[in-house]
Structure 1
Amino acid sequence: MKISMRRSSRGGRRAAAAVAVGAVLALTATACGDDGSGAGGDKGDEGSGKGEITFWDNNTAVRRDIWMEIIKDFKKKYPDIKVNYVGVPAENVQSKYDTSIQGGGLPDVGGVGAAMLAGIAAQNALEPLDARLEKSSLNGKLNEGMVESVTAAGGQEKLFTIPTSASNGVLYYRTDLFEAAGLDAPTTWTKFYEAADKLTDRDKNEFGYTIRGGAGSIAQALDAMYGQTGITEFWNGDKTTVNDPKNVAALEKYVALYKKDTPEADVNNDFTKMVAQWDSGKIGMLNHNLGSYQDHVKALGVDKFRGLANPTSDDGTRVQVSNPVDGLALFKSSKNKTAAWKFIEFAASHESNSKWNESAGAIPSNTEAAQDAWIDEAEPTKLAAEALSSGSTKIVQLPYYLPDWNTISKADNEPNFQKVLLGKMSAEEFLDTVAEQLNTAQAEWTAQQG
């Protein structure tokens, strides 16, 4: 598995059947029909290239400030274009897009990550961007693997979003607490569980780990499952491996940490609450992604924590699930597509893309930005890129191409995962439920492809 930092050619992109970047899906899909109109039959308009456009940020809780800075820079270059910023919490963004597709009120530009891309594209709401990129100053300056991945994730062999960043699963740990306890870095799952137990003293409100029980919990649970079992394929034929007995046992071991080595409040924690809790308390370890790195730096400084690639098995094998590439999409209903595209180009350009990813601690999509000095100074980002480039990390590719993926992996099953944590549902029953839904969605998708 490699993450390519070379410049891409459009011909090369089309020739590849599937390329994974970092921890993202790359699966080839056949094209679906498209009559050229947007959601509700609104084809939109190219517009004058001036005036107002609306931009929806798909993670306002942690990225508002950097987007406001980029919008300010954009205004200096394009004084005739006003960008109306609308921040949407990450946990609400899919439902907001779905509601607006049906009822109107979509933005001109919106943040659309690979995990929800197929579902929105299937509703005919997004403008294909292949031709625009061909003529753009961005052509040849975007990470080839990221472009391949979002193209495949859209499920129609079309480019529906311009990639801006790739993240990766990271195990953050408090170096000061580990040193005081005489513990080795949690580089293996054995050391991880040992540390979680040894660093916990409930009477002192000290815990070895914080587990994600609220929004976004499923991806983290899958990462822990596959990481422990070493299973490297999400599908075995037309059936998912999610409920493989090895995965069931791994999930049982993982959720057993809850309330034993974790705070009880974790059952309701989304990533913002989980990160804030780790930054302010006495908790040894946190699983998140590169996106929270700068939060930890601000709260703890660079000397009290490190961020490592996910733990390996005792024999050194590292397996992790894919993390979706984030990107910017142009909506078909936009009445000013020319101005909207200028904003996307600007946001993905060298300076803006570098600035955004440095703030987020993520891997830039712009190949020039990926060479900037801050990459070497942000250790988790550097280590993540190295782990993915080495070929030693095995990636379980999640099926982002399924229009139902985001719903299955979030709204349908996050409440059930909380039941598992609370002992009201078994790990086996939970994974069997997820597997049944995934197998059905895969069968429907396969049938639609003919």
Structure 2
Amino acid sequence: MKSSNHRSRRAATAVALGSVLALTATACGDDGSGGAGDKGDEGSGKGSITFWDNNGGVRTDVWKQIIADFEKKYPDIEVKYVGVPAAGIQSKYDTAIQGGGLPDVGGLATSMLAEVAAQGALEPLDGRLSKSSLNGKLNDNFLQGVKAAGTDGKTYTVPTSANNGTLWYRTDLFKAAGLDEPSTWTNFYKAADKLTDTDKNKFGYTIRGGEGSIAQALDAMYGQSGITSFWNGDKTTVNDPKNVAALKKYTDLYKKDTPSADVNNDFTKMVAQWDNGTIGMLSHNLGSYQDHLKALGEGKFKGIPNPTLDDGSRVQVSNPVDGLAMFKSGTNKAAAWKFIEFAASHESNSKWNESAGQVPANKEAAQDAWVQKSEPTKLAAEALGGNTKIVQLPYYLPDWNTISKSDNEANFQKVLLGKTSAKSFLDTLAEQLNAAQGDWKENH
């Protein structure tokens, strides 16, 4: 039943999208209003361009610094900055694709790249990148993530940064218990058990059971199973027996080595609970570093990439890669490309990522002093730039966000509560993903 619902929703989306594109092509034509049907122009490389920041408010200050630096280097180009809050960027792009008014350059994460690319709004950047000073200087895993997220294997954004899954642990509690760093899954489970004393409200781990739980569970599964691809042909590997066993071991931690409140905790509640309690470990990402520093102080905690297998090999699922896209409708693509190149160059990329506390896409920026001083970021950069095997999540599927969030978060809670088995949960997830992949293949 679930699969047919997905198919009918996809069919409706396809019809609506076809109508939108037809209307856009008719209504916008080449009047410069910036809809998806416009072809744009290279322009003179001078004049003004518009840039949409996809995390407006949060990253406005650093972008204004980069824009000032750019305009100093290119005084004949003016960048008009528009800050769009992260929660509203998808709908703003969709509205502009339908009705006109797209920017020349826009911030775009791989988690929503497919939907924008599928509507024909983006300019492929492979040719420009191959001739650019950026060629060979961008993180290969990030570039692969961008290509995997598109609809046709082309590069639709120049990657600028990525977050990474991070296992935060209380160094003070580990030291007192005589435990080794939880850098392997074996050490992780040993620590989760040893640091738990439910009578004293002490727990080894906090598990994410509320909103956003699926991606974290997938990371734990693939990290333990060592399976390095999300697909085997057109069938997903999520319900491979190795993944089933890994998920069962992980979810069995609930209430045994974790607080019972975890079943409803999203990342905000989970982070607050870890910062204010006596819990040994927390899986989140680099973004919560400042929260931990403020609550616990230096020397009480450490952040490392997700654990490895006992042989030292690391497998993790992809995190969304943030990047800069050029829109087809732009009438000054030469100037737009200069801005993208500048923003992704060593100095600018380093400045932006230091402000955000994320991993730079520019390989030279990833070697800068601030990265080396920030141990969690340094370790994440090494993991993402080294031999880590990245399982690319299928961001290109139109239903990915629905399947991996609203459709299955309640089902995951049933696994934690013992009302559904790990196998049953993953079989249902696999059925939905295989149907979505089949529909996607039919249309491509």
- Counterpart code for 1:186: P
After superposition, give the CA deviation of every residue in 1:111-167 in whole Å (9 maximum; x if it has no partner): 322233223211212222234445655445433443344234313232211100233
After superposition, give the CA deviation of every residue in 1:277-330 in whole Å (9 maximum; x if it has no partner): 433443221112334445544544442222223223345443322333221222
Q: State whether residues 243 and 431 of structure 1, in contact with CA within 8 Å, keep that contact through their aligned partners in structure 2.
A: yes
Which one of 18, 42, 52 corresponds to residue 55 of structure 1? Answer: 52
Which one of 432, 440, 443 corresponds to residue 438 of structure 2? Answer: 443
- Counterpart code for 2:303: G
| Number of the residue aligned with 2:355 | 359
Q: State whether residues 104 and 326 of structure 2, in contact with CA within 8 Å, keep that contact through their aligned partners in structure 1.
A: yes
The structure-2 alpha-carbon separation of the partners of 1:158 and 1:226, relative to structure 1 and needing over 3 Å to count, comes to closer
| Number of the residue aligned with 2:86 | 88
- Report whether the alignment pairs 1:180 with 2:176: yes
- Report whether the alignment pairs 1:416 with 2:414: no
The structure-2 alpha-carbon separation of the partners of 1:40 and 1:111, relative to structure 1 and needing over 3 Å to count, comes to closer
Match runs of 1:254-273 below 5 Å = 254-273=250-269
Which one of 278, 281, 286 corresponds to residue 282 of structure 1? Answer: 278
The structure-2 alpha-carbon separation of the partners of 1:151 and 1:229, relative to structure 1 and needing over 3 Å to count, comes to closer
| Number of the residue aligned with 1:380 | 376
Q: What SS class does the counterpart of residue 228 from structure 1 fall into?
A: helix
Q: State whether residues 290 and 360 of structure 1, in contact with CA within 8 Å, keep that contact through their aligned partners in structure 2.
A: no
| Number of the residue aligned with 1:304 | 300
TM-score using structure 1 length: 0.77
Match runs of 1:14-33 below 5 Å = none
Match runs of 1:144-293 below 5 Å = 144-202=140-198, 204-293=200-289
* Alpha-carbon RMSD: 3.5
Deviation at 1:83, TM superposition (A): 0.8
| Number of the residue aligned with 1:4 | none
- Counterparts of 2:57 and 2:415, CA distance in 1: 28
- Counterparts of 1:117 and 1:317, CA distance in 2: 30
- Counterpart code for 2:153: E
The structure-2 alpha-carbon separation of the partners of 1:67 and 1:414, relative to structure 1 and needing over 3 Å to count, comes to farther
Stretches of structure 2 lacking an aligned partner (at least 5 in a row): 1-24
Q: State whether residues 49 and 103 of structure 2, in contact with CA within 8 Å, keep that contact through their aligned partners in structure 1.
A: no
Larger radius of gyration: 2
The structure-2 alpha-carbon separation of the partners of 1:45 and 1:435, relative to structure 1 and needing over 3 Å to count, comes to same
Deviation at 1:221, TM superposition (A): 0.4
- Counterparts of 2:156 and 2:70, CA distance in 1: 22
Stretches of structure 1 lacking an aligned partner (at least 5 in a row): 1-34
- Counterparts of 1:182 and 1:290, CA distance in 2: 26
- Counterparts of 1:117 and 1:64, CA distance in 2: 21
The structure-2 alpha-carbon separation of the partners of 1:127 and 1:372, relative to structure 1 and needing over 3 Å to count, comes to same
Q: What SS class does the counterpart of residue 84 from structure 2 fall into?
A: strand
After superposition, give the CA deviation of every residue in 1:374-410 in whole Å (9 maximum; x if it has no partner): 222222333334445553x444333344344344323
Q: State whether residues 53 and 336 of structure 1, in contact with CA within 8 Å, keep that contact through their aligned partners in structure 2.
A: no
Q: State whether residues 210 and 266 of structure 2, in contact with CA within 8 Å, keep that contact through their aligned partners in structure 1.
A: yes
- Counterparts of 1:94 and 1:421, CA distance in 2: 32
- Counterparts of 1:424 and 1:255, CA distance in 2: 12
- Counterparts of 2:268 and 2:61, CA distance in 1: 16
Deviation at 1:198, TM superposition (A): 3.1
Q: What SS class does the counterpart of residue 166 from structure 2 fall into?
A: strand
Q: Which has the higher helix share?
A: 2
The structure-2 alpha-carbon separation of the partners of 1:250 and 1:105, relative to structure 1 and needing over 3 Å to count, comes to farther
Deviation at 1:265, TM superposition (A): 4.2
Count of aligned pairs? 411
Which one of 397, 413, 437 corresponds to residue 392 of structure 2? Answer: 397
Q: What SS class does the counterpart of residue 285 from structure 1 fall into?
A: strand
The structure-2 alpha-carbon separation of the partners of 1:353 and 1:420, relative to structure 1 and needing over 3 Å to count, comes to same
The structure-2 alpha-carbon separation of the partners of 1:141 and 1:317, relative to structure 1 and needing over 3 Å to count, comes to closer
- Counterpart code for 1:242: V
- Counterparts of 2:84 and 2:222, CA distance in 1: 36
Q: State whether residues 251 and 427 of structure 1, in contact with CA within 8 Å, keep that contact through their aligned partners in structure 2.
A: yes
